[in-house]
Structure 1
């Protein structure tokens, strides 16, 4: 599992001109899943996202998590995070999980953020062509991956 976190001042996602999710201060999460990801990976990455200290304290140091800061999440499924560009000019997406695997895990990830970490979560639409708009804060962009499989 691979998640790109972009700290944002505001963000929204639209499908066919209709906004499906919008947040003020928080994170835009681009969420990619691969074939062997499990609920354990989902829980690990959700906990990491919720607890990472990416918000400044009164001294300007990144010492607060999104939970402490009171921010929200905009979660967007993004199979292209598993693009393989090592050969040729057209990316291969064979490492990305098939929709029947990825969709339930993406939904579980969003529920984990909501229910376990008490975060407001807005989403895009799985598998749709989406227009994502954001005002990147910082910019702060971090990549989180699940633990290596043994």
Structure 2
């Protein structure tokens, strides 16, 4: 499972000219699921997301988590995080989980994050052609991979 986590001052997702999710200060999380992912990957990643101290304290140091600032999360499914580009010029997405595996994992991540934050996580629509608007704050962007936990 891979996640690109961006600290944002605001972010929104639009599908067919309708906003499906929008937040002010918080995190935009792009989530990719692969076939081998398990529930412990979900739990590890959800806890890392809500506990990362990437928001500024009163001294301007990154010492506060999303929970500390009462921030929000916009969670977007993104299979392209598993693009393989080694051969040719067309990316292969063979490592990305099929929708019957990825969608329930995405939905479970939304539930876990909602539970950990004690507030509803905003969402895109799984499998839809989404338009994401955001203002990256910092910029602060962190990439996590549950298959490489020792480095995160």
| Both proteins in one fold, TM over 0.5 | yes
| 1:68 alignment partner, SS class | coil
Q: 2:68 maps to which residue?
A: 68
Offset from partner CA, 1:104-129 (integer Å, 9 cap, x none): 00100110011133243100000000
Q: Using a 3 Å threshold, how does the CA distance of structure 1 residues 7 and 148 change in structure 2: closer, same or farther? A: closer
The 8 Å contact of residues 73 and 119 in structure 1, kept in 2 or not, is answered as no
**5+ unaligned residues in a row in structure 2: which ranges?**
none
The 8 Å contact of residues 50 and 116 in structure 2, kept in 1 or not, is answered as no
| Rounded Cα–Cα distance in structure 1 between residues aligned with 2:58 and 2:2 | 31
| Rounded Cα–Cα distance in structure 1 between residues aligned with 2:137 and 2:119 | 19
| 2:91 alignment partner, SS class | coil
Offset from partner CA, 1:49-85 (integer Å, 9 cap, x none): 0000000111111100001111000000000000000
Q: Using a 3 Å threshold, how does the CA distance of structure 1 residues 148 and 136 change in structure 2: closer, same or farther? A: closer
**Alignment coverage as a number of residue pairs:** 149
When the two structures are superposed, what TM-score results if normalisation uses the length of structure 2? 0.95
| 1:120 alignment partner, SS class | coil
The list of structure 1 runs, each at least 4 consecutive aligned residues, that deviate by more than 6 angstroms after superposition, is none
Aligned 1:17-56 pairs, distance under 5 A: 17-56=17-56
When the two structures are superposed, what TM-score results if normalisation uses the length of structure 1? 0.96
Q: CA deviation at 1:145?
A: 1.6
Q: CA deviation at 1:147?
A: 4.1
| Rounded Cα–Cα distance in structure 1 between residues aligned with 2:148 and 2:62 | 26
Q: Using a 3 Å threshold, how does the CA distance of structure 1 residues 103 and 116 change in structure 2: closer, same or farther? A: same
The 8 Å contact of residues 31 and 78 in structure 1, kept in 2 or not, is answered as yes
